[in-house]
Amino acid sequence: MDTRRLPPNATIGIFGGGQLGRMTAMAAARLGYKCHIYAPEGDIPASQVSAETTRAAYDDAGALEAFARRVDVVTLEFENIPVEAVRRVNEITPVHPGADVLEICQDRVLEKKFLDRAGVATAPWAEVSDRAALDRADAAIGRPAVLKSARFGYDGKGQAAVRAGDDLSAALQSTGATRCILEGLVDFVCEISVIVARGADGAVASWPAVENRHAHHILDTTIAPAQVSPAVAAKAEEIARHVAAQIGLVGVMGVEMFVTRDDGVLVNEMAPRPHNSGHWTIDACDTSQFEQLVRIVCGLPLGATTRHSDAVMKNLIGDEVDAWPQILAEPGARLHLYGKAETRPGRKMGHVTRLSPRTGK
Ligand code: AMP
């Protein structure tokens, strides 16, 4: 594994050009690094703050090779980068996190199998590869349940609730997929997540567990730290650190979990990149999730994850961003806008973090 320490002025390649790439590039710039974005889409918020952009498809072999030769290391801000692209680039320049980690996190079946092997508790689940398998899964898991496409599902996309009386064929059709998992519906008290970082040398750092509240299947608010018992908070961090070590992460990962009524902690899913529920770390911690990723891919020591303040992070979704002048006028509110050209319903346009004096551990 490559553990070279890259000096300032080196160039970090980033697959994906959204707000996560943008905030990674801003953290990189602070440490004297340049960024080169690789993304296929037209509106690339990360490009506005990066030295270079390659606008090309993820299967453009020539563009991938040229990109790999122009950068010193590569990371990603989007977990659905085709693993073939990552493998191709990695033959020339190291990519962190690697293709093996991505492969698991891109596929809910592989992800759940990995979690089972790692001894990590999840909702009861069964693999669904065709209609007959769905009947078997339904018999094993029971209802209520949720059917999720194995691939390319996020923010509630590719999911169907399966309640008593629901038609299974219709549910399967509505996911738009053939490979799925059926998961028992968890009667959770709250949803939490932990951001964990792991260096190539195996050093691990994590931030405290936070509570996440969703609106219309999209993260709306993150409360840091989560208002859970110290035992639940400790268990959640422990699980995230275990997952990072077991999967061999080199980078930053968001681990989403459910807290059950009996104080159990079940992992829902993992995202091997900076995570929306970690944005508060920019304003409330010694080292943000973005700076930590830069440190890791550049072979620098991990930074302290100490939280100096409590925080509430509110995403500005769609036209909520129109409130920016009022937010700017609010003492202590830290406004982050992503420079997206077009406001659309459901689109993450920015976020605001409100700090308060640190309480508790
Ligand atoms: P996901 O795409 O897996 O993150 O799911 C999106 C959201 O759906 C989660 O944040 C939960 O609010 C809800 N959800 C997903 N899976 C379950 C489950 N097994 N039980 C209860 N709620 C779930």
- For a mutational test of ligand 1's pocket, the pick from 154, 268, 315, i.e. the residue with the most ligand atoms closer than 8 A to its C-beta, is 268
Which numbered atom of ligand 1 lies nearest the CA of 186?
20
Ligand 1 site, residue 186, Cβ cutoff 6 A: yes
CA 149 – ligand 1 centroid, Å: 12
Backbone angles phi, psi at 101, to 5 degrees: -65, -45
Query: What does the alpha-carbon distance between residue 313 and residue 224 come to, in Å, rounded to a whole number?
Result: 8
Return d(Cα 331, Cα 356) in angstroms, integer.
12
Compute the radius of gyration of the chain from its Cα atoms: 20
DSSP 119-144: T--B--EEEESSHHHHHHHHHHH-SS
Q: pLDDT digits over 161-187, tens only?
A: 999 999 999 999 999 888 999 999 999
d(CA 244, ligand 1 centre) in Å: 21
Residue 227: other Cβ atoms inside 10 A: 13
The rounded Å distance from CA 268 to ligand 1 centre is: 7
pLDDT at 1: 45
The residue whose CA has the least distance to atom 18 of ligand 1 is: 185
Evaluate: CB of 216 within 6 angstroms of ligand 1: no
Distances in Å between the Cα of 197 and the Cα atoms of 25, 130, 253 are 17, 37, 6
Q: DSSP letter for 279, please.
A: T
Measuring CA to CA, how many Å separate 261 from each of 41, 190, 191, 237, 330? 43, 9, 12, 19, 37
- Tell me, in angstroms, the distance from the centre of ligand 1 to residue 178's CA: 19
- What are the C-alpha distances in Å from 349 to residues 127, 152, 274, 315, 356? 36, 22, 17, 8, 24
Ligand 1 pocket member 146 (CB < 6 A): yes
Q: Is 268 in the pocket of ligand 1 (CB under 6 A)?
A: yes
Q: Is 72 in the pocket of ligand 1 (CB under 6 A)?
A: no
Q: What is the DSSP letter of 185?
A: P
Q: Indicate whether residue 239 lines ligand 1 (CB < 6 A).
A: no
The structure tokens listed for 219 are 């993260």
**64-97: string of b/e by CB count within 10 Å (b at 16+)?**
beebbeebbbbbbbbbbbebebbbbbbebbbbbb
List Cβ neighbours of 22 (8 Å cut-off, separation of 6 or more): 45, 46, 48, 49, 338, 339
CA of 348 to the centre of ligand 1 (A): 19
Measure the CA–CA gap between 230 and 264, rounded to whole angstroms. 13
Ranges under pLDDT 50 in the chain? 1-2
Tell me how long the chain is. 361
Greatest extent of the chain over all pairs of C-alpha atoms, in Å? 61
**Ligand 1 pocket, 214 CB below 6 A?**
yes
Contacts of 177 (CB under 8 A, 6+ apart): 149, 150, 151, 158
pLDDT of residue 2: 47
123 Cβ below 6 A of ligand 1: yes
Query: Which atom of ligand 1 sits closest to the CA of residue 108?
Result: 3
Q: Give the model's pLDDT for residue 155.
A: 63
CA 114 – ligand 1 centroid, Å? 18
* pLDDT for the residue 99: 98
Q: Residue 360's pLDDT is what?
A: 85
Q: Is 118 in the pocket of ligand 1 (CB under 6 A)?
A: no
Pocket probe for ligand 1: among 108, 146, 187, the residue whose CB has the most ligand atoms within 8 Å is 146
Is the beta carbon of 183 within 6 A of some atom in ligand 1?
A: yes
